[in-house]
Chain A
Amino acid sequence: MRLDLIDEFRADLHPYVAGEGTRLFDDVPKSYQLDLVSSTPFSNGIVGLHHRRPR
């Protein structure tokens, strides 16, 4: 059974240090590397991050 079902992560990186919030990856059992597909800066300061798991 495949547990790592997410193939691609897209995150809208905001120009902000939050200090409070919810961690996306909490209790990650092991580290792993992702491949960068693209990073796109937008006019509002957001950087669109697009990563995928190597298969």
Chain B
Amino acid sequence: MRKLIAWVFMYSLDGLLADEGTEYWQFCFGLPGDPVELEQKLDVFRSAYAHIMGRVSYEAMAVALPAAIDHPFSGIMNAGRKVVFSRTLTTAEWANTTIAAGDTTEEIDKLRRGGDGHIVVWGGVSLWRRSCGLT
């Protein structure tokens, strides 16, 4: 059974995720990188069996990453197996992407079965909550 790993990139001391355009968001993007931190992420992403995401996260990454060849995630994410959870999307242009339109729990279960390793849950927050059984 594959493990599901949720990775939250911007988490504050008061337990909040950064919303785009806020001071907090700008603070997060203004921090210098740490190569050790980056490598830790890349290891987990590179070795993932699959990357799963909600539609909004998918659309943001699918627009940005194929063109952003200098972005450290770009190569891994363009080549990696991706599944987007959506009942409205009919096509997914980003290479190696499939659309999961069924029940979230059942679709995730299908991905988990049949092997070891791990699956990265990219978010957004509604997919994390659904994956935790919170909604």
A in complex with B: yes
The interface residues of chain B lying within 8 Å CB-to-CB of A5 are 4, 105, 108-109, 112, 131-133
The majority secondary structure among interface residues of chain A is: loop
Residue interface mask A25-55, B partner, CB < 8 A = 1? 1111100000000001011111011000000
What is the size, in residues, of chain B's interface with A at 8 Å between Cβ atoms? Answer: 43
Residue interface mask A1-39, B partner, CB < 8 A = 1? 111111111111111111111111111110000000000
The interface residues of chain B lying within 8 Å CB-to-CB of A23 are 15-17
Q: Distance (Å) between the CB of B130 and the closest chain A CB?
A: 9
Q: Distance (Å) between the CB of A10 and the closest chain B CB?
A: 4
Could you tell me if B134 and A28 are in contact, using CB atoms closer than 8 angstroms? yes
The majority secondary structure among interface residues of chain B is: mixed
Q: Distance (Å) between the CB of A15 and the closest chain B CB?
A: 7
A26 to B109 CA separation, bound complex (whole angstroms)? 24
Q: Distance (Å) between the CB of B73 and the closest chain A CB?
A: 14
Residue interface mask B58-74, A partner, CB < 8 A = 1? 00000000000000000
Could you tell me if B37 and A46 are in contact, using CB atoms closer than 8 angstroms? yes
Among residues of A, the one whose C-beta sits closest to the C-beta of B112 is: A5
The interface residues of chain B lying within 8 Å CB-to-CB of A21 are 12, 16-19, 22, 24
Confirm or deny: B56 has a beta carbon within 8 angstroms of a beta carbon on chain A.
no
A2 to B37 CA separation, bound complex (whole angstroms)? 32
Confirm or deny: B85 has a beta carbon within 8 angstroms of a beta carbon on chain A.
no
Residue interface mask B80-114, A partner, CB < 8 A = 1? 00000000000000000000000001001100100
Across the interface, A42 reaches (CB within 8 A) one of B12, B37, B128, namely B37
7 closest Cβ contacts across the A-B interface?
A3-B133, A21-B16, A18-B12, A42-B34, A18-B24, A7-B3, A11-B11
Binding site for A on B (CB under 8 A): 3-19, 22, 24, 27-28, 31-34, 36-37, 40, 44, 105, 108-109, 112, 118, 121, 125, 128-129, 131-135
